[in-house]
A and B are shown apart, each in its own frame.
Chain A
Amino acid sequence: MVYLTRIEYFTAAHKLYNTNWTKEKNEEVFGGCANENWHGHNFDLHVTVKGSPQKDTGFVMDAKVLGQIIKEHIIAKVDHKNLNLDVDFMKDTMCTVENLAIGIWNELLPHLPEEASLHCIRIYETQRIYVEYFGN
């Protein structure tokens, strides 16, 4: 079993805001992240798949193809976007980086080839904050 990781990038605006709460409670829980006018980040997205190197190619899967799948199904939807307003798979969910990792997992899963199974979605929101989701 070998793990293959492809790194892609996107920049986006978001805010952390629970509409069931008052503005004061949102500010208390989320601080500056609740700013009603949004803020933003450069996100680094690490997608790890696992599998056995294929006999004929030596690849778990073609890393270039993995990059194309991520770009087509994720980056095109989130890059230079507002995660709360513009991204269909983040509708009706709190726009934290945790939920973003789960959303990206669910979006990517159906598009990966049989030989490579999705292992981990890791997203860096800043250099010092990142999350990992392993699908359960």
Chain B
Amino acid sequence: MAAQQLVSVYRKEHFNAAHRLFNASWNNEKNKTVFGKCSNEHYHGHNYELVVKLTGPVDVATGFVFDLKEMSDIITDRILEDFDHKNLNLEVEEFKTVNPTAENIAIVIFNRLRPLFPQHLQLQIRLYETERNFVDYPA
């Protein structure tokens, strides 16, 4: 029998948000030393580009790994509704206790989406904070 053919499908979305990098257990000076201008107390912001990747076998009946329209609806509902045009530190529950670095944002997005896709599909998150800075989770 031929090996199962795995295909990756991707959905690209974007959101615009404010944030600051700040460790509440450090004083302002230490935050400034470690995070530099990213710790500006009045926040700054980004156009985040989010790429969600699902990898798995092609369903015989549909020809899909996963319906991309459905994937888009899930991302919109669980991520964009809460993140777009928001302040990540103040308005997204998870970042009330976690520093909203690109790394942590990718992990939060993964954790939110993982239960919503079938377990046999691998999920990976790529998040661009700027055109030149981006992270992948899981690595």
Contact = CB atoms under 8 A, between A and B. Distances in A.
Contacts, number: 78
Interface in A40-59: 40-42
B46 interface: yes
A80 B37 contact: yes
Interface residues of B, number: 23
Interface string A79-98: 11110011000000000000
B87 interface: yes
Given A12-B45, A13-B42, A81-B42, A38 B18 contact: yes
Contact of B42 (A32, A41, A86, A126): A86
Contact-residue size bin, chain A (C-beta under 8 Å from the other chain): 20 to 34
A32 B44 contact: no
B87 A11 contact: no
A126 B47 contact: yes
Contact of B18 (A31, A40, A86): A40
B104 to A, nearest CB: 17
Interface of A: 9, 11-14, 31-33, 35, 37-42, 79-82, 85-86, 126-127
